[in-house]
Amino acid sequence: MSKLKVTLVSGRTAQQGIGLEEGKTSDNYVKSVNHVQLCPEDAAKMKLKEGDAVSVETRHGSVVVNWRPSKELEGGMVFFPYGPWANQVYGYETEGTGTPIFKGIEATVAPTKGKVKSIEELVKSLGGDRK
């Protein structure tokens, strides 16, 4: 199986909190948010090896990130820590509430030969090149 249909859920992690207090450009922060967590069985279905990148896609966009196994997740559920990488695949519709949906989104995950962007590349790709 190359592409897996999943439910995407985002959220905070302690590592993300620790990393962001070091700085958003620090290695610790970047590593804490530029990955998704998959259950080992789903990773096996996609024949993912440690160090492989995956492409996460929703109807709003796609992004290339690293992956990590998580025994807490059940098959078909993917956890994406809050951050600039996760935000590539979320939509901005708020349906009059002001708040987009960040949890429980239909997505696909697939192995990719693509490269995980650095934080600078990501900001640049969003139009931010005023550094």
Partner 1 sequence: MTVFTDVVCPFCGCLCDDLEVTVEDGHVKGVKNACGISRSKFLNHEKNRLEAPTVDGVEVPLEKAVDAAADILSTSMRPLVYGLSSTECVAIAKAVELAELAGGVVDNTSSVCHGPTILALQQVGESKTTLGEVKNRADLVIFWGSNPSQAHLRHIIRYSGMAKGRFIPNGRKDRYIVAVDIRKTGTTRLADEYVKVEPNRDFELLQALRAAVRGHELLAESVAGVPREKVTELAERMKTAKFGIVFFGLGLTQSEGRHMNIDAAVGLVAELNNHTKFLLTPMRGHYNVGGANTVTTWQTGYPYAVDFSRGYPRYNPGEYTSIDMLARGEADSALVIASDPVSTFPAGVVRNLAKIPVVTLDHKVTPTTMLSKVVIPVATAGVEAEGTAYRMDGVPLRLSKLVEPREGVHSDAEVLEMMIKRMGGRAY
Distance of CA 113 to the CA centre of its chain: 16
Q: Judged by CB under 8 A, which of 5, 18, 118, 121 binds partner 1? A: 18
The number of residues making up the chain comes to 131
- Using a 10 angstrom Cβ sphere, with 0-12 exposed, 13-18 middle and 19 or more buried, the burial of residue 112 is middle
Q: Least Å distance between CB 64 and partner 1?
A: 14
77 bridge partner residues = 7
34 is an interface residue for partner 1 by CB under 8 A: no
114 is an interface residue for partner 1 by CB under 8 A: no
How many other C-beta atoms lie within 10 A of the C-beta of residue 113?
Answer: 8
Instruction: State the virtual CA torsion across 89, 54, 82, 99 in degrees, nearest 10.
Output: 20
115 is an interface residue for partner 1 by CB under 8 A: no
For the window 72-91, what string marks contact with partner 1 as x by the rule CB under 8 A?
Answer: xxx--x-x--xxx--xx-xx
Q: Judged by CB under 8 A, which of 23, 40, 75, 114 binds partner 1? A: 23
CB closer to partner 1, 50 vs 72: 72
8 A C-beta contact, residue 34 and residue 122: no
Binding residues for partner 1, per CB under 8 A? 7, 9-14, 17-19, 21-26, 60-61, 72-74, 77, 79, 82-84, 87-88, 90-104, 119-120, 122-123, 126-131
